[in-house]
C-alpha cells in the first residue's frame, strides 16, 4: 500500500523530467519525499495591531490613504513613493521604492493593504507588496520552502497540493492510537497537510505539535532500543572485584569521599560486577573529584584480575594523570604505565609487550591507545576523560577493543540535560553534583581592555604573595584576519613587563611535545610564575599554586569553555581570581561576561551556553554527533523531548511493543534505521 507513496515524483501532475531533476537536488525523489518536504518558515499575512509589532518585523496592515502620494526620482530607474496611511488609530507612512507606477493606483480616502518591514522609530512601512482594497489573502500563513534549480516556491506549492490530492489518503499513521489519544495529536495525514497548507495559526500549531512529538519519539525510540540491545546483547565482562581491597584503598586517600563520589562509585561498581557491559557517562564539574573515582574503578578492575585503560585527549593530561594515578595506585601494587605518541622506539615496544603480557595493569594514554598495534592481555575497563573531544567513531572503536570491556566516559563539561538525553541518550548517566568541602569560589571579574594596567597590577600583587598566574589568549600567533591577542605577542610584552621580577613562560599547541612537557614541568615547579597559553591548558591541568587567571578577548569563548579554563585556578586552598578581559560588542557577548561573573556552577553555565549559542556551537559542529530535526528544536521543545524519551523507554520495555500490530510502523522504523537486526524482529 505504501507502495504508491514510493512512486517517483514524475507521477504527480505538473512534474516533468526537468523538474524532477531539480527536485532530486533537493533530495526529493518519491511522492513521499515531496509530501514530507516541509516549509522552513511561513509568511505571515495576518493583520496585526501595530502596537504589537517589533521594530524591523515584517507585517501586513490595512489602511486608509490619508495623503496624496508623493513621488521622487533619484535617477531614471530609482524612485521613492511615499504616502500617509491611517491604520486603525495610527497615522503612518508607507514607502515604495522603484515602483512609480503605483502612484496612480493609490487614491485618497480609499483602502489599501500593504505588506512590508516596519520601522518603529520612523513609524514607516517599507512596502514589498501592495493591494488595493481590504485585506483578504487566500491564506493567512503562506509556507516558504528552500528551493533549487528550476523549482520556485510557487510551483513547489502546486506540486505538493497535487500530491495531496492524488496521494494524501495513502499517508499512513505511524504512531500508536494510544499515544495519539493521550496527547490529542493530529493524524499524520492531517498534520502534514496543515504543515503545508495551514488554515490558520492554530492549525499550524497543532500540526507542529504532532510533528515535533513524532520526531522526538522516533529519535528516542532509536536511542532506547539501542540501549536495551546494548545491555542485553552485549555480554560484557563480569568483574568480580575484591571489596575489602577497595575499602583498604579508599582508606589510604587523604580525604573522605563526598557523598556524590560514593554514589557514583557504587553505580560504576554495580555495572562492573554485572554481566552486561557498562556504557556509562560520568559527569562532574571541574574539580569535583572524577580522577579519584576513576582510580577506584581502575583499581577495582585490577583486583578482579583485569587490565584497565584511561584515555585522555592531550599529552599533557596523560602525563598528569599518569603522575597522580601512579602515586595513588602504585602503593597498592598496581603497575601503571604511560603510552602517548611521544613514547617511541624501544620504550614503546617494551610497553606494548608488557601490555600484551598483562604485566602492565593500568595504562594511561592519548588516542594512541586505540591504535591497532595496542593489544591487551585481558582488558576489563576503559575510561575516557573529557569524552566529548572524542568523536562518535572513536567511542565505537574503544568499545570494540578487548572482549567488550566496560566503558566509562568522563566529562568535566557539564552537559545540559537537553543534550545529554539526545547525544548520549543510549547511555547510563552518573552525576557528581557536589564539590569537596572547603572549596573557595573563584572570584570572577569582567574588565575592559583599557583597564589592562590595573589588572596587571592586581596580578602582580598575587605573584608577590608567591602565587602563579595563567594568561590565556585566543590565538597562537598574529593573524591577518582576526584582530585578537595572540600568545606569542602577549608573551613578549609580559616578559618585558615583569622583567627582573617574575619569569614568564609560553605554551601553545604548536610546541613540540617535549617542549610542552618542559614548560609544564617548570610551571608546576614554580620556576615559571606566569604562563601565557592558548586554550591547550583548558582541560585537566592541575597546578594548585596558580590562583590568578587573565583571559584575553574572553568574548571569543563560549561559557562552557570559559568555565573549563577558569577551572585551572581555584584548585588549592587559597582564594583565586579570574579576570575576563573583553569588549564585547553584542548584547549576547555582554550577557555571557555577566553570567560568568555571577555563577561558578557549571551546569547553570552549560544551560545558558546552550541557550545563547544553540546546540550546534555547543560541542563544535564537527564532532557534535547532534541529530538534526526538521521541525523540532532541542532547546525550545525540550519538555516534549523529555516526554518522548519516557514514552520511548516505556515502549521498548513493554512486551506488546515487540508483538502487537499497533506498533508495527514503529518497529519497521527501527529496522529501517538499522537499529534492529532483522532476525530480532517479528
Ligand atoms: P576533576 O578531575 O573532577 O576535575 P580531580 O579529580 O582532579 O577533579 O580533583 C580535584 C582536586 O580535588 C584534586 O586535588 C583532588 O585530590 C581533590 N579531591 C578529590 N576528591 C576530594 C574529596 N572527596 N575531598 C577533598 N578533596 C578531594
Ligand atoms: Mg580531571
Task: Measure the CA–CA gap between 252 and 299, rounded to whole angstroms.
Answer: 13
pLDDT, mean of residues 642-654 = 91
Query: Helix or strand or coil: residue 430?
Result: strand
CA of 557 to the centre of ligand 1 (A): 26
Instruction: Look at the block and give the residue holding cell 493609490.
Output: 106
Angle between helices 587-598 and 559-566 (to 10 degrees): 30
Instruction: Look at the block and give the residue holding cell 524482529.
Output: 681
Q: What is the pLDDT of residues 70-104, one digit of tens each?
A: 999 998 889 999 999 999 888 999 999 999 999 99
Q: Report the pLDDT value the prediction gives residue 172, as an integer from 0 to 100.
A: 92
User: Nearest ligand, CA of residue 291?
Assistant: 1
Between residues 663 and 4, the one the model is more confident about: 663
Q: What is the pLDDT of residues 11-39, one digit of tens each?
A: 998 999 999 999 999 999 999 999 999 99
Give, for ligand 1, the residue of 290, 292, 410, 411 to mutate: max count of ligand atoms closer than 8 Å to Cβ: 292
- Atom number, ligand 1, closest to the C-alpha of residue 294: 6
Task: Measure the CA–CA gap between 345 and 128, rounded to whole angstroms.
Answer: 71
Query: Helix or strand or coil: residue 442?
Result: coil
Task: Measure the CA–CA gap between 238 and 158, rounded to whole angstroms.
Answer: 61
Q: Report the pLDDT value the prediction gives residue 674, as an integer from 0 to 100.
A: 76
Does the pLDDT of residue 680 top 50, yes or no?
A: no
- Atom number, ligand 1, closest to the C-alpha of residue 290: 3
- Atom number, ligand 1, closest to the C-alpha of residue 542: 7
Instruction: Look at the block and give the residue holding cell 480609499.
Output: 110
Q: Report the pLDDT value the prediction gives residue 540, as an integer from 0 to 100.
A: 57
Confidence band (pLDDT; 50, 70, 90) for 1? Answer: very low
User: Nearest ligand, CA of residue 317?
Assistant: 2
Q: How many Å from the N-terminal Cα to the C-terminal Cα in the chain?
A: 20
User: Nearest ligand, CA of residue 572?
Assistant: 1
Q: Report the pLDDT value the prediction gives residue 270, as an integer from 0 to 100.
A: 94
CA of 265 to the centre of ligand 2 (A): 16
Query: Helix or strand or coil: residue 421?
Result: helix
CA of 418 to the centre of ligand 2 (A): 23
Give, for ligand 1, the residue of 258, 295, 436 to mutate: max count of ligand atoms closer than 8 Å to Cβ: 436
SS (H, E, C) 43-54: EECCECCHHHCC
**Which residue's C-alpha comes closest to atom 5 of ligand 1?**
289
CA of 293 to the centre of ligand 1 (A): 9
Does the pLDDT of residue 545 top 90, yes or no?
A: yes
Does the pLDDT of residue 623 top 50, yes or no?
A: no
Give, for ligand 1, the residue of 253, 259, 287 to mutate: max count of ligand atoms closer than 8 Å to Cβ: 287
Q: Report the pLDDT value the prediction gives residue 678, as an integer from 0 to 100.
A: 47
CA of 289 to the centre of ligand 1 (A): 3
Does the pLDDT of residue 482 top 80, yes or no?
A: no
pLDDT, mean of residues 159-168 = 93
Which cell is 98 given?
522603484
User: Nearest ligand, CA of residue 563?
Assistant: 1
Lowest mean pLDDT among 273-287, 294-308, 567-581, 614-628: 614-628
Task: Measure the CA–CA gap between 10 and 4, rounded to whole angstroms.
Answer: 12
Neighbours of 547 (CB within 10 A): 26
Please state, in angstroms and as integers, the Cα–Cα distance from residue 464 to each residue in 358, 458, 529, following that order.
Answer: 50, 10, 10
Q: Report the pLDDT value the prediction gives residue 293, as an integer from 0 to 100.
A: 97
Confidence band (pLDDT; 50, 70, 90) for 392? Answer: low
Task: Measure the CA–CA gap between 152 and 140, rounded to whole angstroms.
Answer: 20
Does the pLDDT of residue 621 top 50, yes or no?
A: no
Does the pLDDT of residue 500 top 70, yes or no?
A: yes
Q: Which residues fall inside 5 Å of ion ligand 2, going by CB?
A: 291, 540
Task: Measure the CA–CA gap between 382 and 406, rounded to whole angstroms.
Answer: 6
User: Nearest ligand, CA of residue 285?
Assistant: 1
pLDDT, mean of residues 56-70 = 91
Query: Helix or strand or coil: residue 548?
Result: strand
CA of 459 to the centre of ligand 2 (A): 26
CA of 287 to the centre of ligand 1 (A): 5
Lowest mean pLDDT among 100-114, 185-199, 374-388, 493-507: 374-388
How many CA atoms within 13 Å lie on the side-chain side of 94? 33
Lowest mean pLDDT among 216-220, 246-250, 509-513: 509-513
Confidence band (pLDDT; 50, 70, 90) for 307? Answer: very high
User: Nearest ligand, CA of residue 262?
Assistant: 1
Does the pLDDT of residue 222 top 70, yes or no?
A: yes
- Atom number, ligand 1, closest to the C-alpha of residue 385: 2
Task: For residue 475, give the DSSP letter.
Answer: B
**Which residue's C-alpha comes closest to atom 23 of ligand 1?**
257
Query: Comparing C-alpha atoms, which of 134, 582, 624 is closest to residue 422?
Result: 624
Question: For 383, phi and psi rounded to 5 degrees?
Answer: -120, 130
CA of 540 to the centre of ligand 2 (A): 5
Query: Helix or strand or coil: residue 555?
Result: helix
CA of 445 to the centre of ligand 2 (A): 25
Burial of residue 505 (number of CB atoms within 10 Å: 0-12, 13-18, 19+): buried
Lowest mean pLDDT among 176-180, 186-190, 609-613: 609-613
Does the pLDDT of residue 371 top 80, yes or no?
A: no
CA of 66 to the centre of ligand 2 (A): 70
CA of 321 to the centre of ligand 1 (A): 12
Cβ(67)–Cβ(108) under 8 Å?
yes
Q: Report the pLDDT value the prediction gives residue 88, as an integer from 0 to 100.
A: 85
CA of 536 to the centre of ligand 2 (A): 14
Q: Report the pLDDT value the prediction gives residue 622, as an integer from 0 to 100.
A: 41
Task: Measure the CA–CA gap between 211 and 260, rounded to whole angstroms.
Answer: 39
**Which residue's C-alpha comes closest to atom 10 of ligand 1?**
287
Does the pLDDT of residue 299 top 60, yes or no?
A: yes
Confidence band (pLDDT; 50, 70, 90) for 580? Answer: very high
In the structure, which protein residues have their CB atom closer than 6 angstroms to any atom of ligand 1? 255, 257-258, 261, 284, 286-292, 412, 436, 542
**What does the mean pLDDT of the chain come to?**
87
Does the pLDDT of residue 372 top 60, yes or no?
A: yes
CA of 280 to the centre of ligand 1 (A): 20
The stretches of 501-555 forming alpha helices (DSSP H) are 513-524
Instruction: Look at the block and give the residue holding cell 493521550.
Output: 182
Torsion angle defined by CA atoms of residues 337, 341, 345 and 346, in that order, rounded to the nearest 10 degrees: 0
pLDDT, mean of residues 408-412 = 86
Q: Report the pLDDT value the prediction gives residue 564, as an integer from 0 to 100.
A: 84
pLDDT, mean of residues 282-310 = 93
Q: Report the pLDDT value the prediction gives residue 681, as an integer from 0 to 100.
A: 36
Burial of residue 647 (number of CB atoms within 10 Å: 0-12, 13-18, 19+): buried
User: Nearest ligand, CA of residue 284?
Assistant: 1
Confidence band (pLDDT; 50, 70, 90) for 639? Answer: confident
Task: Measure the CA–CA gap between 284 and 263, rounded to whole angstroms.
Answer: 13
Q: Report the pLDDT value the prediction gives residue 682, as an integer from 0 to 100.
A: 37
**Which residue's C-alpha comes closest to atom 14 of ligand 1?**
571
**Which residue's C-alpha comes closest to atom 15 of ligand 1?**
289
Cβ(297)–Cβ(265) under 8 Å?
yes
**Which residue's C-alpha comes closest to atom 9 of ligand 1?**
289
- Atom number, ligand 1, closest to the C-alpha of residue 285: 3
Query: Helix or strand or coil: residue 392?
Result: helix
**Which residue's C-alpha comes closest to atom 26 of ligand 1?**
436
Please state, in angstroms and as integers, the Cα–Cα distance from residue 575 to each residue in 95, 439, 453, 467, following that order.
Answer: 61, 9, 22, 10
Task: Measure the CA–CA gap between 469 and 535, rounded to whole angstroms.
Answer: 14
Lowest mean pLDDT among 19-23, 203-207, 550-554, 636-640: 636-640
Q: Report the pLDDT value the prediction gives residue 325, as an integer from 0 to 100.
A: 95
Query: Helix or strand or coil: residue 80?
Result: strand
Give, for ligand 1, the residue of 256, 291, 440, 570 to mutate: max count of ligand atoms closer than 8 Å to Cβ: 291
Lowest mean pLDDT among 236-250, 362-376, 639-653: 362-376
Amino acid at each position: 500500500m505504501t507502495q504508491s507513496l514510493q512512486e517517483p515524483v514524475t507521477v504527480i501532475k505538473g512534474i516533468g523530467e526537468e523538474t524532477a531533476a531539480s527536485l532530486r537536488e533537493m533530495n526529493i525523489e518519491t511522492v513521499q519525499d515531496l509530501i514530507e518536504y516541509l516549509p522552513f518558515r511561513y509568511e505571515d499575512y495576518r493583520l496585526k495591531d501595530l502596537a504589537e509589532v517589533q521594530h524591523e518585523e515584517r507585517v501586513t496592515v490595512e489602511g486608509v490613504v490619508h495623503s496624496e502620494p508623493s513621488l521622487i526620482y533619484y535617477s531614471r530607474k530609482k524612485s521613492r513613493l511615499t504616502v500617509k496611511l491611517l491604520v486603525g488609530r495610527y497615522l503612518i507612512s508607507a514607502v515604495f521604492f522603484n515602483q512609480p507606477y503605483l502612484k496612480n493606483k493609490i487614491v485618497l480616502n480609499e483602502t489599501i493593504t500593504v505588506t512590508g518591514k516596519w520601522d518603529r522609530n520612523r513609524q514607516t512601512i517599507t512596502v514589498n507588496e501592495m493591494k488595493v482594497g481590504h485585506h483578504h489573502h487566500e491564506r493567512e500563513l503562506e509556507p516558504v520552502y528552500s528551493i533549487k534549480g528550476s523549482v520556485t516556491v510557487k510551483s513547489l506549492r502546486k506540486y505538493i497540493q497535487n500530491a495531496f490530492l492524488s496521494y494524501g489518503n495513502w499517508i499512513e499513521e505511524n504512531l500508536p492510537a494510544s499515544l495519539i489519544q493521550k496527547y490529542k495529536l493530529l493524524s499524520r495525514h492531517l498534520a502534514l497537510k496543515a504543515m503545508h497548507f495551514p488554515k490558520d495559526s492554530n492549525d499550524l500549531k497543532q500540526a507542529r505539535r504532532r510533528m515535533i512529538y513524532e520526531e522526538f519519539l522516533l529519535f528516542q525510540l532509536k536511542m532506547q532500543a539501542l540501549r536495551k540491545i546494548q545491555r542485553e546483547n552485549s555480554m560484557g565482562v563480569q568483574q568480580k572485584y575484591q571489596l575489602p581491597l577497595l575499602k583498604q584503598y579508599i582508606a589510604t586517600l587523604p580525604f573522605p569521599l563526598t557523598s556524590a563520589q560514593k554514589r557514583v562509585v557504587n553505580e560504576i561498581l554495580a555495572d562492573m560486577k554485572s554481566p552486561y557491559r557498562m556504557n556509562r557517562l560520568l559527569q562532574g564539574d571541574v574539580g569535583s573529584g572524577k580522577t579519584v573515582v576513576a582510580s577506584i574503578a581502575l583499581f577495582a578492575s585490577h583486583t578482579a584480575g583485569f587490565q584497565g585503560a584511561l584515555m585522555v585527549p592531550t599529552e599533557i593530561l596523560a602525563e598528569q594523570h599518569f603522575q597522580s594515578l601512579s602515586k595513588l595506585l602504585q602503593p597498592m601494587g598496581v603497575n601503571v604505565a604511560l603510552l602517548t605518541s611521544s613514547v617511541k622506539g624501544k620504550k614503546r615496544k617494551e610497553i606494548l609487550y608488557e601490555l600484551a603480557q598483562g604485566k602492565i595493569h593500568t595504562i594511561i594514554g592519548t588516542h594512541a591507545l586505540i591504535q591497532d598495534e595496542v593489544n591487551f592481555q585481558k582488558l576489563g575497563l576503559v575510561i575516557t576523560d573529557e569524552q566529548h573531544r572524542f568523536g562518535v567513531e572513536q567511542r565505537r572503536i574503544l568499545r570494540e577493543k578487548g572482549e567488550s570491556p566496560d566503558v566509562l566516559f568522563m566529562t568535566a563539561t557539564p552537559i545540559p540535560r537537553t543534550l545529554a538525553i539526545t547525544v548520549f541518550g543510549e547511555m547510563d548517566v552518573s552525576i557528581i553534583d557536589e564539590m569537596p568541602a572547603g572549596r573557595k569560589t573563584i572570584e570572577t571579574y569582567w574588565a575592559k581592555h583599557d583597564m589592562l594596567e590595573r589588572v596587571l597590577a592586581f596580578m602582580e600583587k598575587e605573584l608577590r604573595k608567591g602565587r602563579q598566574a595563567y594568561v590565556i589568549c585566543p590565538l597562537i600567533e598574529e593573524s591577518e584576519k582576526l584582530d585578537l591577542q595572540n600568545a606569542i605577542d602577549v608573551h613578549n610584552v609580559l616578559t618585558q613587563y615583569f622583567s627582573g621580577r617574575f619569569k614568564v613562560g609560553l605554551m601553545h599547541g604548536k610546541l613540540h611535545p617535549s617542549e610542552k612537557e618542559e614548560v609544564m614541568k617548570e610551571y608546576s615547579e614554580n620556576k615559571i610564575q606566569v604562563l601565557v597559553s592558548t586554550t591547550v591548558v583548558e582541560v585537566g591541568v592541575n597546578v594548585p599554586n596558580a590562583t590568578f587567571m587573565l583571559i584575553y578577548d574572553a568574548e571569543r569563548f563560549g561559557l562552557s569553555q570559559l568555565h573549563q579554563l577558569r577551572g585551572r585556578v581555584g584548585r588549592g586552598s587559597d582564594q583565586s581570581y579570574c579576570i575576563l578581559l573583553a569588549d564585547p560588542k553584542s548584547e549576547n557577548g555582554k550577557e555571557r561576561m555577566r553570567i560568568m561573573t555571577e555563577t561558578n556552577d557549571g551546569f547553570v553555565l552549560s544551560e545558558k551556553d546552550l541557550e545563547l549559542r544553540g546546540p550546534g556551537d555547543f560541542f563544535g559542529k564537527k564532532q557534535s554527533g547532534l541529530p538534526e530535526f526538521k521541525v523540532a528544536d532541542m532547546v525550545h521543545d525540550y519538555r516534549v523531548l523529555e516526554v518522548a524519551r519516557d514514552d520511548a523507554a516505556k515502549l521498548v520495555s513493554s512486551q506488546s511493543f515487540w508483538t502487537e500490530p499497533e506498533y508495527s510502523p514503529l518497529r519497521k522504523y527501527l529496522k529501517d534505521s538499522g537499529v534492529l537486526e532483522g532476525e530480532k524482529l517479528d
